[in-house]
Amino acid sequence: MISPPPLRFTDLTCVHDRHPAVHHLSGCFAPGSLTAVMGPNGAGKTTLLRALAGLHPPHDGVIDRGGLAPGQIALLPQAGTLDRNFPIACRDVVALGAFARLGAFRTATAASSAAAEAALGAVGLAGFARRLVGSLSAGQFQRLLFARLIVQDAPVLLLDEPFNAVDARTEAELLALLHRWHAEGRTLVVVLHDFDLALREFPEALLLARSLVARGPAAEALSEENRARARLAAEAWVEHPEVCRDAA
């Protein structure tokens, strides 16, 4: 794994159907930082992660990924957005992490299969290599996605609601893995909805309500005053916000 560069964004605006989702946002995720991204529903948290990963082109502003290739920024999407009906085995899902890092035309080898099975074991899914994804519980499926991240071995990890719909034991084990990645010097940006979890486990936080509300040490950025400001901003949103006039 290479050392991650700073992940910078300047005056970043992202839109959906020409309506603003992230609005004039500037900041930086420092190398090796562990940051919780918080905010009301519709605050632009998922859009921000997708933009940082290169999956949502900015309408305005600049994202500087420090020269990282696409496969060196790993995105774990919300599990609920993924189709689990496709008949694919767990080992093959995990092996896709290597394809993201090394290229889609890389031929599967015994070593890559072994790496996938080792990753499954590391997340408590030993013996699941041939199991179809559709047969997994919500918690098992989330463990599977973490196994894919292990194989991808990216210096920057973007995780969107990674602890949704999992039990307390699974959450604790996945948090331990997340902290291990942090100790290895990776940059982690994690969208959460649980303020207690963010305050307990994350040293940094970014509070978003389409525009920046606060960022910095979690205890300061997620203060009651700042949370109230985010709620007030959300209450002021209109159902159909003004169109960005210069959007394509």
What is the per-residue pLDDT for 150? 95
Instruction: Write the single-letter amino acid at 235.
Output: E
The series of mean pLDDT values per 10 residues for the chain, 248 residues long, is 90 88 95 97 95 94 92 88 81 85 59 88 94 92 94 96 91 96 97 96 97 97 97 79 51
- Bridge partners (DSSP) of residue 159 are 76, 190
Burial of 126 (0-12, 13-18, 19+ CB in 10 A): exposed
Distance separating alpha carbons of residues 113 and 116, to the nearest angstrom: 5
Distance separating alpha carbons of residues 58 and 206, to the nearest angstrom: 19
The model's pTM? 0.90
Q: Which helix (H) or strand (E) holds 209?
A: strand 204-209
What is the per-residue pLDDT for 165? 82
Q: Which residue has the tokens 């992202």?
A: 14
Secondary structure in 3-state letters for 221-238: HCCHHHHHHHHHHHHCCC
| Alpha-helix residue ranges (DSSP H) falling in 133-210 | 138-152, 168-183, 195-201
State the angle between helix axes of 138-152 and 110-122 in degrees (0 to 180), rounded to the nearest 10: 130
Residue 205's nearest CA partner among 196, 195, 215 is: 215
State pLDDT tens for residues 198-222: 999 999 999 999 999 999 999 999 9
**CB-based contact 36:202 (threshold 8 Å):** yes
What is the per-residue pLDDT for 246? 47
What is the per-residue pLDDT for 244? 54
The Cα-based distances of 25 to 44, 56, 248 in angstroms read 11, 15, 20
**CB-based contact 89:129 (threshold 8 Å):** yes
